[in-house]
Amino acid sequence: MPILIKQATVLDKNSEFAGKKVDIMIDGGKITEIKKSISPKTNCKIIEGDELYVSNGWMDMQSVFCDPVLEHKETIESGLKAAAAGGFTSVCVHGYDQCSINNKSTVEYILNKTDKLVDVVPIGSITVKTEGKELAEMFDMKTAGAVAFSDHKHPITHSGLFIRAVQYANNINSFIIAHCNDQHISHGGQMNEGETSTSLGLKGMPAIAEELMLERNIGLLEYAGGKVHIPTISTAGSVDIIKKAKAKGMNVTAGVAAINLMYDDSMLNDFDSNYKLDPPLRTKKDVEALRKAIENGTIDVIVSDHNPQDTESKELEFDLADFGIINLQTTFNCVAEAFKNHGLEEAVEALSNKPRAILGMEQRAIKEDADANLTIFSIKQTSTLSDKNNYSRSKNSPFLNKTLQGKVIGIINGGKSSFNA
């Protein structure tokens, strides 16, 4: 059935309609017409509402689906449903530990699970079982469909191995995604090191643990050549390091977890383990620096950092609980809250066009005769994640049953569509 989007403002810097409020007709998976006003000539589904926006479909560069092996936490099918509800038409799937993406067969398994509504982009492991000891079968995974390589939350501590990984990935026209956390400094840390951690009596994860490893990785990149993406920076110091590296012409890009744009470490005052994250929630000063870095382009992308954990991993004493939250369905709520006053256009670019640019994918534009790969959303409307509409198999979210700013109306991709109630 044709779909008519009524009076939506286009947020797409690649489009001639950028910033304009238009009607968009989609038929047969194509954008057939874009005008100031369109009167439907046939039966069609009409999408309308308060202050609608439309952009190119969002891409999440950092999610974990735990499939195969830990499917009780998340399957590819449940993860893709959560992604669709959260406005994502494409998701980069990372592996770790038992769920690491080590070989060609695992990459093919993930690709064969796609539902064609949300595209799956496998991220292969840099090292075998993400243990940081020996390089995984990067070439075989690349030929099978892996677009980049990451050990997820496991930093590559061995400098020589890091250099070899960067050089090898570059030789096969790819790159590595490197989490920055010097675990010799942050070992045993539960949250950001600062006044809040001291008052709570929790061991801290100091900003310098992230910043030192970031400096090291950029220094090694400068020596080795190639390209490196830093998935989730969290401090004002890291923003400055990335800014200086880019000014020198280094081929480095960076992301930030959506929740780090919304909350600071004071959220841990009640010892809610759903706020136990890696990287951790930092200070108000860091949050403001991260927001500004999205607006000025120092940080390239915003990610969900979706990391499902079962009840047995989270409902424990705080220092025993695992890190991570589910956030595919609430990423936009974090963005809407962080950029409700200004910066929304840049934030949406960081969800849509910029991830594809980093991955070397074809740039899309909202125009007539283009394939319809779209996300429709409202910053004015609100939404609530509940047990009823949570599509993840896990429930480790601090946002459950909370009404939040922003609402994803739906997505269109590959001739398919999905809309939220």
Q: Which residue has the tokens 């999440």?
A: 60
Helix (H) / strand (E) containing 406: strand 403-413
Nearest to 110 by CA among 140, 72, 67, 139: 67
Determine the pLDDT at residue 234.
98
Distance from C-alpha of 117 to C-alpha of 376, rounded to nearest angstrom: 15
pLDDT, one tens digit per residue, over 270-286 is 999 999 999 999 999 99
Distance from C-alpha of 191 to C-alpha of 36, rounded to nearest angstrom: 50
CB 179 within 8 A of CB 257: no
Determine the pLDDT at residue 40.
85
Nearest to 339 by CA among 393, 383, 302: 302
CB 413 within 8 A of CB 389: no
Distance from C-alpha of 147 to C-alpha of 158, rounded to nearest angstrom: 23
Distance from C-alpha of 66 to C-alpha of 72, rounded to nearest angstrom: 8
Six token digits for residue 111: 């690709």
Q: Is the peptide bond before 155 cis (omega within 30 degrees of 0)?
A: no
Distance from C-alpha of 27 to C-alpha of 313, rounded to nearest angstrom: 45
Distance from C-alpha of 275 to C-alpha of 277, rounded to nearest angstrom: 6
Report how far apart, in Å, the C-alpha atoms of 116 and of each of 120, 417, 420 are. 9, 10, 18
Distance from C-alpha of 370 to C-alpha of 307, rounded to nearest angstrom: 34
Report how far apart, in Å, the C-alpha atoms of 214 and of each of 156, 176, 302 are. 11, 14, 18
Mean pLDDT per block of 10 residues along the chain (421 residues) reads: 96 96 96 94 89 97 92 95 98 92 94 90 96 96 97 96 97 98 96 96 97 98 97 98 97 98 97 97 98 98 97 93 97 96 95 97 94 97 96 97 97 96 86
CB 205 within 8 A of CB 192: yes
Burial 391-406 (b: 16+ CB within 10 A, else e): bbbbbbbbbeeeebbb
Report how far apart, in Å, the C-alpha atoms of 285 and of each of 85, 269, 292, 380 are. 32, 18, 11, 26
Distance from C-alpha of 154 to C-alpha of 285, rounded to nearest angstrom: 26
Nearest to 228 by CA among 293, 179, 299, 285: 179
How many CA atoms lie less than 13 Å away from 217 in the CB half-sphere?
31
DSSP 130: G
Six token digits for residue 382: 């609100």
Active-site residue numbers?
305
Helix and strand numbers, DSSP H then E, in the chain:
13, 18
Distance from C-alpha of 42 to C-alpha of 361, rounded to nearest angstrom: 35
Report how far apart, in Å, the C-alpha atoms of 412 and of each of 57, 160, 192 are. 8, 44, 39
Spatial neighbors of 336 by CB under 8 A, at least 6 apart, are: 379, 404, 405, 406
Phi-psi region of 150 (alpha: psi -120 to 50; beta: other; left: phi over 0): beta
Determine the pLDDT at residue 98.
85
Domains identified in the chain and CATH numbers: 3-53+368-419 (2.30.40.10), 57-358 (3.20.20.140)
Determine the pLDDT at residue 421.
86
